[in-house]
Structure 1
Amino acid sequence: MSAISSMLATRQDAEPEAPAIDPNDPWGGNPLEVDVNTTFAGLEYHAVYIAFCSCLVWLIIPGIGLLYGGLSRRKSALALLFQSFMVSATVTIQWMFWGYSLAYSKTAGPFIGDLSNFLLRGVMSGPSIGSSNLPDILFCFYQLLFCACTVQILVGGAFERGRIVPSIVFGFLWATIVYCPIACWTWNPNGWLFNLPSLDFAGGGPVHIASGCSALAYALVLGKRKNKGETKKKAHNVTLVFLGTVLIYVGWFGFNGGSTLGVSVRSMLVLFNTNAAASAGIIGWVFVDYIKHKRRFSVVGACEGAIAGLVGITPAAGYVQPWISVVIGFITAACCALMENVDSWLGIDEGMDVFKLHGIGGMVGSILTGIFATSKISMLDGATEVHGGIDGSGMQVGKQFADITAVAAYSFTVSCLLLLVMKYIPGLHLRVTDEVEERGLDNDQFFDEEIGDSEIFAELEKRQLPHRTLVGHGETSSVEQVAPQTVKQD
């Protein structure tokens, strides 16, 4: 036995030791020499959870496309569906190119990151800046989808009159000089709002206030739509609006739920708060509509209420108790519903309600976060301690107001300047001609495609009948012109 033991000991001494994993190496070590997965051994459930949440967040992008497409007039709906894919594709390239580095580089300044992670250099298996339990590449992917969702929200400010190519170029540039700096302020440990600190759990500032104010700037620079009598028409397809809202609703569980950047009791509470606030938002908006419209309801109103509730809870989801999330959702939705005429008050035609839902909703949610945030909830993850007004820290409300003011002013001003510069660059003029707007973006910028059943509408146009005739809104004589034999047989 002693001889065998001696032989094994000699063999072990002869074998070279595995290289040690350097925790400061952004790659987590050379994968040709070491198993980089050992850095996260026993913690894999955190990565699995965030990967799943990332896939949920992606659903928000086509969800917004469906929502916007349903809200717009039929002749320009296809453009909004198309943009949902183009935005996702463009922002992915921007984020890989320099977006992630500008927002989340570990050597960032208080206002913007550097290019230390340019072209994703050093972004792989090392611990991320957001959480040491997550590989950097996964954290990068999760935050990429936040940026893509934000740009998709933003392009709603140009609907029915903005050219597609300039809108995609604007999205790339906007993500670079507006979203990335604000994300750095808010979530990078070196950011000035992070260290103030302002409280923004999942994007009240970088996502909602920034996109809402920038959409308002987009609409301002583009100018009002033509045919003003038609600009307040109802949604052309309520079913698309509903389906889009459902995808957004489901995606928001990943959007908020994953912002804990790991699995804890706090993560589970965030999921509960997200649903509670959305539910209260539906009730709040429907309640206002019920009073304003003489005891009548609106499916679109219920959908907007759900989104308003989700927007309101975004900055607060990981800081407040469940019943407070109900209060936040209801108040945010009611405030947004009461701002129905904000476009008229401002004299700006932002008909997709991006500013109303995301800008104003984000501001309301941020203020309520400062009032109701409590350490009893934030410490459910065992590490995060924050105090709001309800804990006796009234100064936090003032810090939230500073956050709102900085993000709103920066995003609106820089967006206006960027759009004004683009407006005079050959080939990047922002708006379609009056004739194209009258005919619709879809007929001008797409080939051989239409929203809905193209054969039915082609037949109606051929016979020069109003489109509403076929869906049961025309007179009997009009129906007889379409199918006289069928009517006689009946």
Structure 2
Amino acid sequence: MAPAAITLAAEAPKLSSANTGFMLICSALVLLMTPGLAFFYGGMVRVKSTLNMLMMSFVSIGIVTILWVLYGFSLAFGSSNGFIGYDSHWLGMSNVGLTELWPGYTIPVFVFMVFQMMFAVITPALISGAIADRVKFSAWALFVALWLTVVYVPVAHWVWGADGWAYKLGVIDFAGGTAVHINAGAGALGVILVIGKRVGFKKDPMRPHSLPLVMLGAGLLWFGWFGFNAGSWLGNDDGVGALMFVNTQVATAAAMLAWLAYEKIRHGAFTTLGAASGAVAGLVAITPSGGAVSPLGAIAVGAIAGVACAAAVGLKFKFGYDDSLDVVGVHMVGGIIGSLLIGFFATGKGQSAATGVFYGDHSFTQLWKQFAGVGAVLGYSLVASAVLAFLLDKTLGMRVTEDEEVSGIDQAEHAETAYDFSGTGGGVIGSVSAPALAGTSKKVDA
């Protein structure tokens, strides 16, 4: 993600209608990812939790949008210190001119703000997959608001703010490996360690109820991710965004194939769930690294992430933490891998001159910077998220009752069900000629 740049007054950029239009399209693509995530997660849960899973993503759109305009953008991207930003000019966004440019770039502040808004929307929504089936909707909504404020906003400032400590250190995160994926994955781990396991974890079958829905969601995520990644260079003037676009496709394909190969060797089958999960793992891993590596490097990043994430999702059964939809195994692990591999595969010919170990950095300089960024975000998000979950659990109560969980959280929290079959199979809805069915000319109900 390109933060504000410092330019001389004589070199002040002018508004570019091409870059502005491109970034508006990218913003819409990133927004589409959250409904895509809702379908992806919604298909992975049991039928009795489908609507709740959809709603946990959709409510994030509403809550984060309002808070981002009120204060989130100001705290994340204003200039103050290395840990948190502030700019009173951006509180409420009511004093921003229509053609006021984001410093150093050719797009309006409004465009940069709304693009960043979509990142802020999807990040807490990612956490919802780890706590499926068992959390009160009201508690989740409050958690989203608090987590955005306490966790996402500071981390986004560290990584992407012009005076953020991680950015000034030289940590590379093109589009959110640390700020989005490690942040959400570590946050998910912190929450599930507090609220505990689902009823029947490791005993009852908890298979996805709709794999076509999962594949639809994965497809929407893949499509929207081009805006997520390529748009993060904030323009099309030097080819870096094009490199990121190519690497996004390449790494995702490599990760999907690697995951499928792993599960065929390990479990004896190529599954649709594996294909969808592998694609997401590749998207996650290339998010921080795609502007720094070559397409060949992207193949390596994707393949490594595909195998590593496929292996990581089984750790929940070994260690006993109930990560319902593998947010930790895919997003946290994938984000860590993608961020650290920059230290090996960065060519110095993409977004910056920084190189990795395989391209001459034998002092491991960039690798250590990546470790610093990864470790700080992981540790802060894990602890802060666990504290928020603990406080909410001790006050409002985070979980539904055991009876509500067993009978179905959709009915308990939303008074609805995802699929209504009450209108099928009864009454005369048509007639067919009977000879093919019963050897007579009598009409029968279909």
TM over 0.5: yes
**Pick from 101, 107, 110: which aligns with 2:82?**
110
User: Aligned with 1:234: secondary structure?
Assistant: coil
Name which of 159, 162, 166 aligns with 1:186: 159
Q: CA deviation at 1:275?
A: 0.5
Distance 1:231 1:70, change over 3 A: farther
TM-score by length of structure 2 reads 0.89
TM-score (norm 1): 0.81
Match in the other structure for 1:127: 101
1:273 maps onto 2:247 in alignment: yes
Alpha-carbon shift at residue 442 of structure 1 (Å):
0.7
For structure 2, the residue ranges without an aligned partner over 5 or more in a row are 1-5, 7-11, 427-433, 440-446
Identify the residue that residue 91 of structure 1 maps to in structure 2: 64
How far apart in 1 are the matches of 2:204 and 2:149? Answer: 32
Letter of the 1:288 counterpart: Y
Match of 1:446 in 2: 414
How many angstroms apart in 1 are the aligned matches of 2:275 and 2:344?
A: 27
Shift in Å at residue 486 of structure 1?
12
Residues of 2 paired with 1:486 and 1:259: CA distance? Answer: 65
Query: How many angstroms does 1:147 deviate by?
Result: 0.7
Q: How far off is 1:422 after superposition?
A: 1.2
Aligned residue for 1:287?
A: 261
Superposition deviation, residue 323 in structure 1:
1.1
Indicate the residue corresponding to 2:338 in structure 1. Answer: 365
Matching residue of 2:48: 75
Q: Does 1:222 align with 2:186?
A: no
Supply the distance in 1 between the matched residues of 2:24 and 2:53 (Cα, whole angstroms).
27
Separation in structure 1 between the aligned mates of residue 390 and residue 81 of structure 2, nearest angstrom: 28
How much does 1:219 deviate? 1.3
Q: What is the distance in 1 between the residues matched to 2:334 and 2:438? A: 55
- Secondary structure (helix, strand or coil) at the match of 1:226 reads coil
Partner of 1:436: 404
Unaligned runs of 5+ residues in structure 1 are: 1-23, 25-37, 379-383, 461-484
Amino acid at match of 1:279: A
Map 1:6-405 to 2 at 5 A.
40-41=14-15, 43-105=16-78, 107-116=79-88, 117-124=90-97, 125-129=99-103, 131-229=104-202, 232-264=205-237, 265-294=239-268, 296-378=269-351, 384-393=352-361, 394-405=364-375
2:337 partner amino acid: V
Q: How does 1:401-480 map to 2 (within 5 A)?
A: 401-425=371-395, 428-447=396-415, 449-455=416-422
Q: Which amino acid aligns with 1:386?
A: A
Distance 2:317 2:57 in 1: 28
CA distance 1:283–1:424, change in 2 (3 Å): same
Q: 1:104 to 1:231 in 2, by over 3 A?
A: farther
Structure 1 residue 81 displacement after superposition: 1.0
Query: d(CA) in 2 for partners of 1:246 and 1:390?
Result: 33
Q: How far off is 1:97 after superposition?
A: 1.2
Q: RMSD across aligned C-alpha pairs, in angstroms?
A: 2.1
Q: Deviations over 1:101-153 (max 9, x none)?
A: 11001x22100012522222544432214x42111110000000001011110
**SS in structure 2 of the partner of residue 454 of structure 1:** coil
Letter matched to residue 94 of structure 1: L
Q: CA deviation at 1:84?
A: 2.1
Amino acid at match of 2:409: L
Length, aligned pairs only: 417
Identity %: 35
- Residue 381 of structure 1 corresponds to none
**Shift in alpha-carbon separation, 1:226–1:48, aligned structure 2, 3 A:** same
Deviation string, structure 1 residues 390-441 (Cα, Å, up to 9, x no partner): 332321111111111100000000011111111122xx21100000000111
Distance in structure 1 (CA, Å) of the matches to 2:234 and 2:205: 42
